[in-house]
Structure 1
Amino acid sequence: MGKKKKNQSSSSSSATDLLQTLGDFTSKENWDKFFTIRGIGDSFEWYAEWPQLRDPLISLIGAPTSSPPPQILVPGCGNSRLSEHLYDAGFHGITNVDFSKVVISDMLRRNVRDRSDMRWRVMDMTSMQFMDETFDVILDKGGLDALMEPELGHKLGNQYLSEVKRLLKSGGKFVCLTLAESHVLGLLFPKFRFGWKMSVHAIPQKSSSEPSLQTFMVVADKENSSVVLQVTSSFDHSSLDCNKNQAFGIHEALESENQTRREYSHGSDILYSLEDLQLGAKGDMKNLSPGCRFELILGGEGDFCFSYRAVLLDARENSGPFMYNCGVFIVPKTRAHEWLFSSEEGQWLVVESSKAARLIMVLLDTSHASASMDEIQKDLSPLVKQLAPGKDDQGAQIPFMMAGDGIKHRNVVHQATSSLTGPIIVEDLVYENVDPEFSRIWPSEDLKFRRLVFQRTQGLVQSEALLMRDGSSHRTDVETERKKASSSSKSKRKGTQRRSDDSGNQLKVYHGYLASSYHMGIISGFTLISSYLESVASVGKSVKAVVIGLGAGLLPMFLHECMPFVGIEAVELDLTMLNLAEDYFGFTQDKSLKVFNHLFCLQLEEDVNLVLFGLSSESCIKDNSFPEAAVQLGKLVKFQHLEISQSIMDAAKKIRCLK
């Protein structure tokens, strides 16, 4: 007997040493070794024991004599006596699962005679071979905690909980005995957020002189509802007799999760993730829900290259027949702001025209600028397949449709980041169709434009310029010499290289035309003071103009070339913008065009009489005088092409007094 006790003591000591050095709790080999050392008669209890668990468990599971008797699954059973105690309490429909053949063999031998109805299976709890909705109760005692290895993240835990949800019957319960660490609750709470009722209970502690780690019982009831319910707790956090860090951690986790659930319950602008939908946030996505519409985020992690903002719409009642069960409609960034794609009313019109029972509208942004449509479609395909309705259409092709952006070719010339405006893109592009006005002026040209785009502002092009082959814009010799002189001065700036001439194909920004309708409108507004401008220009004087915000420098350069009697002072606080304007848009400074990078440097003298963002004039022009004033302005502005002059004149004639 003494020798036996000595061996048992030695065995227990070895098992404790092994447990401390086990390291990877997900290793089958480690657990086989652990259970071999402990032997058949030496059970090991994680967390609370039967006297503390009996009452809360039996009250949850219900009467063992109910008909039919509850079917209970105990995954990761190990050599705990929990199943034996439940069996002895009258619950005979118990199936135990563990991936260690050693422990299953030992437990079967230990119980085959006295508990013959209890079943034992060698099985991986992350991939169990049972039919869907087999069990009424799944009882986990430390199994989830053991799977949550920091190096593996949520992978195994996520797989296991997916199995739990699959195997539980409607109305069934998942009972998880856990230490409720933050990384465990961070997976457990969201996984049962939609369609489940959750509660947390503190298991009574053994009497102890010092606070120890508390065992908690998290219960998830399967309700098959899309309603998001608060997580309830049956204890007062201040009265928990456990480690302070543990008490604080579960309090924080509950508060955070319930705040998230409140937002899902009351918020109308929720962006759902694919995982949210798989968890039941909007019910069973395999079923169509006519008139359903919500926004979601696709991709952005794992094997996917991009993140996508999308809108899922199930066609309204009586809107068939449909050509497609599910379709994808891609909206390019340049059109995402349009009413048809940004408003609910417009989106429903797109659904009707698509002839799809379910339409997934994907709104591209600047993060997709460098990707081809083939790359985007390849990236999206596995994502949208998970949203296709119907269980028998996994092999069906999902058509990809797209709203044209009107661009034949796009090339990103340069990317920069400003501390004031964020990421900036300079891009060259060729439009599929151009304004007829261009065809009349340059009938044989395949016109190319250069754009400056702030990525933070979707759908808005900050500046756009026409690129012309060197010499085709018929610029004057005086202007050419001025640019050469300015270029020589600019080249002295350290680290700066001239890029605006695009030496590969000899294209330069043409400053005799304003591609921006906004800038054209500003110039047409000069009609309001055309009489004054003529009186100043006729006596050889100059008019001073102040431009606040340089952009790509296109407006000041246009004024400088086409209205030589205007002296321009521009204010630009962002040095990055100034460099881009000079390097990629042909902006140059001279004595008549200067840029200041501090607002206090601007000298607002008495003869500064023109501020482009706000116009002040003592003389008032009447509506019936606009045509005459427009002609007067046309004589002042030195256009190289009559058609361009006419565009501005036509815009000027549309100006009306608001008072």
Structure 2
Amino acid sequence: MSLLPRSAGEFSSAEYWERFFSRRGDQAFEWYGGYTELCGVLHKYIKPQDEVLVVGCGNSELSEQLWDVGYKRLTNIDLSATAIANMQQRNRSRRPGLLFLRADATQTGMEAGRFRAALDKGTLDAMASEERGQDGEKPEDGKGGQAGRMLAEVGRVLCVGGRYVCVTLAQEHVLQLAVEHFAGEGWAVRVHCLGGQEAESDSSSFALPVFVLVCTKFRQPPPTPLLELCQGEDGPPCRLAAVAELLAAVRDCQAYALLRSRLRHNTDPTPCPALTLCHTPSGRARFTLNVVDCPPTVRPPRDHHFAIFIVPQGRESDWLYSSEEGRGQLALSAGFRRLVVVAMHRDQQYSDMQAVQSELSPMVMELAPPGMPTNQQVPFLSVGGGVGWRAVVHRGRSALSGELAVEDVRGEDGGLFRRLVFIDNEGVVQSESRLTEPGAPSLKKNKKKKPPAVPPKPGPAQVDRRFLCCAHHRVMVAGLALLCLGHAPLTDAPVSVLLVGLGGGGLPQFVRDWVPGARVEVVELDPVVLDVARDWFGLEPDERLSVMLGDGLEHINKLYSQGGHSYDVIMFDVDSKDPSLGMSCPPPAFVETPFLERVRDLLTPRGVFMLNLVCRDSVRREGVVARVRGLFPCVLSRDIEGEVNEVLLCLRGGDADTTPAPPSPPALRRAARTLQGVLGDKNQPSPPPSLDIAALLDNLHIA
């Protein structure tokens, strides 16, 4: 017959515990570990000379073990007469001074201020079950019911400087009750997260970690609440500002323990949630870990159980490391049963790869797959052998997008790049530009040399507007060749462009600089992004490039309502602020049929609508493409290799008798040569490095 209660409410009833201990007899029952697991933290806060009240002792051996190592002033109380009688009989001869008394923890009858410490192992958890009751509601008195009254009684019997030491699983309602009670009384509150009590061979053991709550009674309340969390029994305390922050930090510890338990018992190719490891003194994120298991059909070599892959700084947004598909491909190519992909965070210092390995080793070894031999050596893998390099040159905050960072990083070829990243979506680079370094050696001459891990400090760097770093921007520029299909060459007629979404300004400046006669209007919603583009990405508007602040939806609707406006090219390169939609670019309102009709009607007969589409939801993506196909007579698509992006190139067409058919390969090649000649015009000062327009258009397919 099971000894577990039938309902949570039973935990707080005297009848339940009477039945429980009657059935167990003399067999000790250890909630959340015994003396061996807890002695380190107990000795830290309770001294042998302290007078200690043990609340809800049950038939645990903990008090007996404490007595045996020198704790001679222990008073044990419990609600169960059976438990107290058994413990008195068990210790009468061997430990005559160890006191066991039947008493109610909510009203002990002890004198105020008598004890230096109160020790509670599982009793608060048991009593606080009544705090929620079977229907999940709080008790009517609003003070935590019996558990709240027990905490008040503990506070009464402890002297100033005394400590309530509570071993708990820290369910949120239990921890919140205790922390709010003692913090409200002006006590210091510290929580230690100990290792879970799960055994490798016993899947029925607790998978959750055990916590030790230590509340210290002050004579005068501190000016601000003292709330701290420690990892392990000796981990440095991390100060938290509010009860909600402490509860959130404990939830993170519990989530990690559950993840570790899941990974310890099986391998699973389904994606695991990302695990963030924080720097304890500051609480700031230091590493993000993604665990990738190979599918069961893949059989790595026998000794290839486990490996750690360190992503160099500045490369964490690469498709191979930032996407689920990319990490899966990386794991397959690495050839291990389990691969942990580790990304390093900005605003943290990493001296070298050896230091990173030493720091990570204790934590990542807890994520090893089941069945891995204990003496198995775990390799650390990386690209180039170094930790990479990153310098945050600007931080800001947008009311629309939250915190942002502008950072300089080294690319694979050793070149210097500048990026705009929104911290809430830091796996995505919003904008990227190549930088020039005065006095830097030519990249061609050093092509075969390995770039330094930490480059020499450059002089003032400038954005090189000849380069388009974003692959989808290069496709959009190549899409201008479609204007040449059956129409006048680009050099014979001006090209009017409307772009929604500025970013760093690289795309509109490239079109302005290298397409003769191009006039570009940009609509940007966020004034902070415009400031960043000007201050950090070299944006220079002029008579051929204008930027207006406003909502792209409203602007296009206004242009349509006014009439008299038309454009050869309309581009959407605007991100969604709601990543939960499964479509991060554009926002859904930009691809609704009525709005797309207005976009189509604003195009000239030769016009092209270009849409940067980033959608992981296949059903939503098909819906978007179907709506676009229903409005444009010819829709071509170009996937971006190694990324989720695809660019839709949609031809407006004229009247019914001039509706364009999908361009033939020869026609596309001729159009590509025309645009290539325009971009490579030797009469232009400092022409851009040649974009291979034909190659960019070669993989177009009908959407």
- Partner of 1:423 in structure 2? 403
Counting only pairs closer than 5 Å after superposition, residues 75-90 of structure 1 correspond to structure 2 as none
Letter in 1 for 2:146: L
Letter in 2 for 1:634: Q
Matched with 2:83 is none
3-state secondary structure, aligned to 1:586: coil
1: CA distance, partners of 2:62 / 2:460? 83
Distance 1:471 1:80 in 2: 73
Structure 1 residue 611 and structure 2 residue 570: aligned? yes
Partner of 2:331: 350
Q: Are 2:13 and 1:61 aligned?
A: no
Q: How does 1:135-534 map to 2 (within 5 A)?
A: 142=105, 179-181=146-148, 190=169, 224-226=202-204, 275=254, 282=261, 285=264, 289=266, 294-295=272-273, 297=275, 299-300=277-278, 302-303=280-281, 306=285, 308-312=287-291, 321-322=302-303, 327-331=307-311, 334-335=315-316, 338=319, 342-343=323-324, 347=328, 350=331, 353=334, 359=338, 361-364=340-343, 366-367=345-346, 371=350, 374=353, 376-387=356-367, 399-402=379-382, 409-433=389-413, 447-468=415-436, 505-530=459-484, 534=488
Residue 347 of structure 1 deviates from its aligned partner by 4.5
| Structure-2-length-normalised TM-score | 0.49
Number of the residue aligned with 1:630? 672
Whole-angstrom distance in 1 between the partners of 2:339 and 2:119: 30
Please give the alpha-carbon distance, in whole angstroms, between the structure 1 residues aligned to 2:87 and 2:463. Answer: 88
- CA distance in 2: counterparts of 1:447 and 1:81, whole angstroms: 65
Determine whether 1:574 maps to 2:526.
yes
Contact between 2:30 and 2:61, CA under 8 Å: does it hold in 1?
no
Following the alignment from structure 2 to structure 1, what is the Cα–Cα distance between the partners of residues 394 and 330? 37
Give the Å deviation of 1:57: 3.7
Pair 1:328–1:408, CA change in 2 (3 A): closer
Query: Contact conserved, 2:497 with 2:521, CA < 8 A, in 1?
Result: yes
Measure the CA separation in 1 of the matches of 2:63 and 2:458.
77
Counterpart amino acid of 1:322?
Answer: D
- What does residue 562 of structure 1 align with? 514
Tell me if the contact between 1:92 and 1:117 (Cα under 8 Å) persists in the aligned partners. no
TM-score of the superposed pair, with normalisation by structure 1: 0.51
Which residue of 1 is the match for residue 542 of structure 2?
A: 590
Residues 558 and 334 (structure 1), Cα distance of their counterparts in 2 relative to 1, 3 Å cut: same
Tell me by how many angstroms 1:418 deviates. 1.6
* CA apart distance, 1:403: 5.0
Amino acid at match of 2:392: V
Query: What SS is found at the alignment partner of 2:331?
Result: helix
Distance in 2 between residues matched to 1:81 and 1:321, nearest whole Å: 52
Shift of 1:658: 2.1
Shift in Å, 1:525:
0.9
Return the offset for 1:423: 2.7
SS in structure 1 at match of 2:698: coil
- Tell me, yes or no, if the aligned pair for 1:451 and 1:462 is still in contact at 8 Å: yes
Question: Which residue in 2 is equivalent to 1:101?
Answer: 72
Residue of 647, 651, 657 corresponding to 2:691: 647
Distance 2:326 2:436 in 1: 41
**Cα deviation digits, residues 576-631 of structure 1 (max 9, x gap):** 11111111221111222111102456774434332134253425363132222222
Amino acid at match of 1:431: G
Cα displacement string for residues 456-492 of structure 1 (whole angstroms, at most 9, x for unaligned residues): 33443222222235799xxxxxxxxxxxxxxxxxxxx
Cα distance 1:566–1:617, how it changes in 2: closer, same or farther (>3 A)?
A: farther
2:92 counterpart (117, 122, 134): 117
In 2: Cα distance, 1:384 partner to 1:414 partner: 32
Residues 496 and 569, structure 2, Cα contact 8 Å, conserved in 1: yes
Question: In 2, are the aligned partners of 1:366 and 1:455 still within 8 Å (CA)?
Answer: no
Q: Is the 8 A contact 1:428 1:451 kept in 2?
A: yes
1:189/1:589 CA distance change after superposition, 3 Å: same
Contact 2:512 2:545 (C-alpha < 8 Å) held by counterparts: yes
- Matched to 1:410, the amino acid is R
How many angstroms does 1:292 deviate by? Answer: 8.7
Letter of the aligned partner of 2:410 in structure 1? Answer: V
Deviation, 1:455, is: 3.1
CA–CA distance in structure 2, aligned partners of residues 531 and 383 of structure 1: 59
Q: What is the one-letter code of the residue matched to 1:179?
A: Q
**2:516 aligned counterpart, secondary structure:** coil
For 1:103 and 1:227, locate their aligned partners in 2 and report how far apart those are by CA, in whole Å. 29
Q: Quote the Cα distance in structure 2 between the aligned partners of 1:187 and 1:290.
A: 35
Aligned length: 444
Q: Which amino acid aligns with 2:673?
A: V
- Secondary structure class of the residue paired with 1:101: coil
The DSSP-based 3-state class of the residue aligned with 1:381 is helix
AA in 1 matched with 2:331: V
Q: Deviations over 1:279-336 (max 9, x none)?
A: 8972795xx656698546353374575354434578879755326x764333457356
Q: Secondary structure at the match of 1:647?
A: coil
- Partners of 1:341 and 1:310 in 2: CA distance: 11
Once the two structures are superposed, what CA deviation does each residue of 1:207-233 show, in whole Å capped at 9, x if it has no partner?
Answer: xxxxxxxxxxxxxx999544999xxxx
Q: SS of the residue aligned with 1:512?
A: coil
Paired with 1:314 and 1:121, the residues of 2 have a C-alpha distance of: 57
Gaps in structure 1 of 5+ consecutive residues: 1-51, 106-110, 126-138, 146-154, 165-176, 199-220, 230-270, 434-445, 473-502
**Distance 1:121-1:572 versus aligned 2 partners, 3 A rule:** farther
Paired residues of 1:335 and 1:459 also in contact (CA < 8 A): yes
Deviations 1:540-575 (A, max 9, x none): x63321111111111111111112311121111211
Show CA shifts across 1:491-533 (max 9, x none).
xxxxxxxxxxxx9625322222322221111111111112687
The amino acid across from 1:631 in the alignment is R
Distance in 2, matches of 1:117 and 1:508, equals: 84
SS at match of 2:691: helix
1:70 aligns with 2:27: yes
RMSD of aligned residue pairs (Cα, Å): 6.0
1:226/1:281 contact within 8 Å kept: no
Q: Distance in 2 between matches of 1:471 and 1:534?
A: 43
Q: Residue 27 of structure 2 aligns to which amino acid in structure 1?
A: P
Aligned 8 A contact 2:668 2:697 in 1? yes
CA distance in 2 between counterparts of 1:156 and 1:639 reads 84
**SS of equivalent residue, structure 1 residue 633:** helix
Q: Which amino acid aligns with 1:588?
A: E
For residues 348 and 361 of structure 1, what CA distance do their matches in structure 2 show? 13
Amino acid of the residue matched to residue 521 of structure 2?
Answer: E
1:654 shift after superposition: 1.9
- Residue 410 of structure 1: how far off its partner (Å): 3.2
